[in-house]
Amino acid sequence: QVQLVESGGGLVQPGGSLRLSCAASGIIFSLYAMGWYRQAPGKQRELVATITTGGRVNYADSVKGRFTISRDNAKNTVYLQMNVLKPEDTAVYYCNADLQRAGIRWGQGTQVTVSS
């Protein structure tokens, strides 16, 4: 059974940093692209960043230069380092795995709140 478990969310002041982690189980992690998405209250879920099996990354324009996605295949974990956080980054952050023909799997989400 595929499981994705996010951690690392919390309350941080504007300009601060957080590092999110997503631990995967039930899959051969190194074979699949991974991503981070977020959903703010009253808004649709949106892409934050993705990383391919080869390490190629893609970011939403709103986070370029501030966020970094990375993966550790030995630990079956994908990370999202978030720096210079802004109030508009407040959202529930979700990890996903693109299992190709087996579909997309989502984690349960972790809340990030940026507020003074």
Instruction: Provide the pLDDT for residue 50.
Output: 98
Q: How confident is the model at residue 88 (pLDDT cuts 50, 70, 90)?
A: very high
Instruction: Provide the pLDDT for residue 61.
Output: 98
Instruction: Note the pLDDT tens digit of each residue in 31-63.
Output: 999 999 999 999 999 999 999 999 999 999 999
Buried b (16+ CB within 10 A) or exposed e, 24-61: beebebeebbbbbbbeeeeeeeeebbbbeeeeeeebee
The rounded radius of gyration (Å) of the Cα atoms in the chain is: 13
Side chain identity, residue 75: K
